[in-house]
């Protein structure tokens, strides 16, 4: 049976846009009506796959300071936006009843001192945890250490790449055996100095093996300050002050975000008085699907763009991934925490977009997503050869928003159709092919095969 091709009319505006993006050619069909359609060629280059998500920025450390006892709030209260320091007094409470006449017993002072010790211990534990994170470790099993980009004693900035680790996984692409190389950059979580390098170039290391250690003067200073503050609070608790005036102190250094009381007013014990946050670092909560969660690990670099600051990209890292997912419409979603050092102008609550590279292949054949069509769970391309058009089954690999890797079925330089075809018929009946959406789902839904993850809609492509 003679092949019949029915081709949708493409607007000239869409044609012009496609020319600029993919280098398509505008051809005229030989069938009745002389319809127009677009073609491009199979090319070789780099395909990069990302996991991306949106979220809002929050302070890395935040404390709501409450009244340790009921009483009259006095002193010069801080203003919103003011910088305060850990252990500093923000206000004072004259312990008294709400009627204003009776001074409360000294037991209230004891309770306040006990609360202060607990807050100081919590702040100290947070700083010690940050210091433990200055030892950078291998995020996955059996990684090869690349060339170190720093030396001991060298100063580094937050987000700076210090060394790249690589994994080599054997792959079979169209009968050709090789290795898929994945790069895992280790970046500095904070600004500091390279204190020691444990690994050597070319060494194979196991998961959690120490690679290098940084020293942060600011964290060391904060640790010493928190230890001194805790020692003072413990001394005061052990010896007792006997005063009915209770200080209201902040457990951490940072910026005052909220003042919820006024001087000269009576407050109840436990009432919210101030909110203080350390804005030197921020976090962002993102949702990761069950198809992608095992492709991420704490320490992986993350590119964050803030919508209020277009054109700026901030390098962060994955701080943690929750092992407990939530199920929605039959799909499990896991929450990952991204940690970053914000530049000037970034404020808590701003919306941001996070992008994490999970796979990259270089020197592979690729076509635009619109060139891939799906029928019965199988992928096809429409190849134009010698004036004829035929449907060729292909095998696809990773994909991004503008490129789909083709591992089998086509050769470099072949001409393929990319226009949106409504019906293509051959001797076996109509194909009814629909173009693969950019960054589609697994299997027959337009993305990589099941188990390989799904590139998010709108993810950027790699340079080719």
Domain spans of the chain, in order of start: 4-48+361-445, 52-58+282-359, 68-131+219-270, 135-215
Rounded to two decimals, the pTM is 0.52
Distance, CA of 246 to CA of 92 (rounded, Å): 6
Distance, CA of 369 to CA of 246 (rounded, Å): 67
Mean pLDDT is lowest, of 23-37, 58-72, 126-140, 425-439, for: 425-439
- The model's pLDDT over 105-136, given as tens digits with 9 standing for 90+, comes to 455 556 666 777 788 888 888 888 888 889 99
Distance, CA of 183 to CA of 196 (rounded, Å): 22
Mean pLDDT is lowest, of 142-151, 239-248, 289-298, 410-419, for: 239-248
What's the confidence (pLDDT) of residue 269?
Answer: 85
Bigger pLDDT: 387 or 143?
143
Instruction: Report the CATH number of the 4-48+361-445 domain.
Output: 2.40.420.20
Mean pLDDT, the chain, as a whole number? 78
- The model's pLDDT over 236-250, given as tens digits with 9 standing for 90+, comes to 666 655 456 788 999
Distance, CA of 440 to CA of 401 (rounded, Å): 9
Task: Grade residue 44 by pLDDT with cuts at 50, 70 and 90.
Answer: very high
Bigger pLDDT: 17 or 402?
402
For residue 121, give the 3-state DSSP assignment: helix
The full DSSP string for 72-102 is: EEES-PPPTT-EE-TT-EEEEEEEB-TTS--
Which whole-number Å values give the CA distances from 364 to 195, 378, 407, 448, 462, in the listed order? 40, 20, 8, 15, 12
Report CA dihedral (260, 263, 264, 268) to the nearest 10 degrees: 30
- What is the average pLDDT across 126-151? 90
Q: What percent of the chain has pLDDT over 70?
A: 76
Instruction: Report the CATH number of the 52-58+282-359 domain.
Output: 2.40.30.170
What's the confidence (pLDDT) of residue 449?
Answer: 36
Burial class (CB within 10 angstroms; exposed 0-12, middle 13-18, buried 19+) of 412: exposed
Sign of CA dihedral 49, 51, 56, 59: negative
Cβ count within 10 A of residue 392: 15
Domain 135-215 class in CATH: mainly beta
Strands (E), 79-235: 83-84, 89-95, 135-137, 143-145, 155-156, 161-173, 176-187, 192-197, 204-205, 210-215
Task: Grade residue 333 by pLDDT with cuts at 50, 70 and 90.
Answer: very high
Residue 233, pLDDT above cutoff 90 = no
């Amino acid at each position: 049976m003679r092949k019949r091709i029915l081709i949708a009319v493409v607007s000239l505006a869409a044609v012009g846009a496609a020319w600029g993006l993919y280098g398509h050619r505008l051809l005229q069909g030989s069938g009745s009506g002389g319809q127009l359609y677009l073609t491009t060629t199979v090319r070789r280059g780099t395909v990069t796959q990302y996991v991306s998500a949106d979220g809002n920025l929050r302070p890395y450390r935040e404390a709501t300071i409450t009244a340790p006892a009921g009483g009259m709030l006095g002193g010069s209260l801080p203003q919103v936006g003011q910088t305060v320091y850990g252990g500093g007094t923000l206000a004072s409470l004259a312990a008294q009843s709400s009627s204003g006449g009776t001074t409360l017993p000294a037991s209230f002072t004891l309770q306040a001192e006990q609360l202060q010790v607990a807050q100081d211990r919590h702040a100290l534990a947070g700083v010690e945890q940050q210091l433990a994170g200055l030892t950078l470790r291998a995020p996955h099993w059996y990684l090869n250490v690349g060339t170190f980009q720093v030396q001991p004693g060298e100063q580094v900035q937050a987000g700076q790449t210090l060394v790249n680790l690589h994994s080599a996984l054997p792959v079979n692409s169209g009968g050709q055996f090789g290795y898929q190389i994945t790069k895992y950059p280790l970046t500095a979580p904070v600004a500091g100095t390279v204190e020691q390098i444990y690994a050597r170039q070319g060494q194979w290391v196991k998961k959690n093996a120490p690679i290098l250690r940084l020293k942060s003067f600011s964290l060391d200073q904060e640790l010493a300050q928190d230890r001194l503050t805790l020692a003072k609070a413990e001394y005061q608790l052990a010896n007792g002050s006997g005063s009915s005036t209770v200080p209201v102190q902040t457990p951490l250094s940072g910026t005052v975000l909220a003042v919820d009381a006024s001087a000269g007013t009576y407050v109840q014990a436990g009432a919210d008085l101030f909110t203080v946050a350390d804005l030197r670092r921020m976090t962002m909560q993102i949702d990761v699907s069950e198809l992608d969660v095992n492709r991420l690990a704490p320490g992986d670099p993350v590119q964050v763009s803030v919508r209020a600051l277009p054109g700026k990209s901030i390098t962060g890292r994955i701080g943690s991934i929750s092992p407990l997912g939530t199920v929605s419409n039959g799909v499990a979603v896991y929450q990952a925490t991204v940690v970053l050092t914000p530049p000037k102008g970034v404020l808590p609550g701003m919306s941001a977009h996070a992008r994490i590279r999970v796979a990259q292949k270089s020197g592979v054949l690729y076509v635009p997503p619109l060139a891939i069509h799906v029928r019965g769970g199988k992928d096809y391309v429409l190849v134009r050869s010698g004036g004829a058009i035929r449907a060729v089954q292909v095998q696809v690999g990773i994909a991004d928003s503008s490129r789909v890797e083709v591992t089998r079925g086509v050769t470099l330089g072949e001409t393929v159709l990319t226009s949106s075809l409504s019906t293509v018929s051959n001797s076996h009946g109509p194909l009814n092919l629909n173009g693969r959406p950019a960054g589609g789902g697994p299997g027959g839904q337009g993305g990589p095969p099941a188990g390989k993850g799904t590139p998010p809609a709108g993810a950027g492509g790699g340079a080719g």
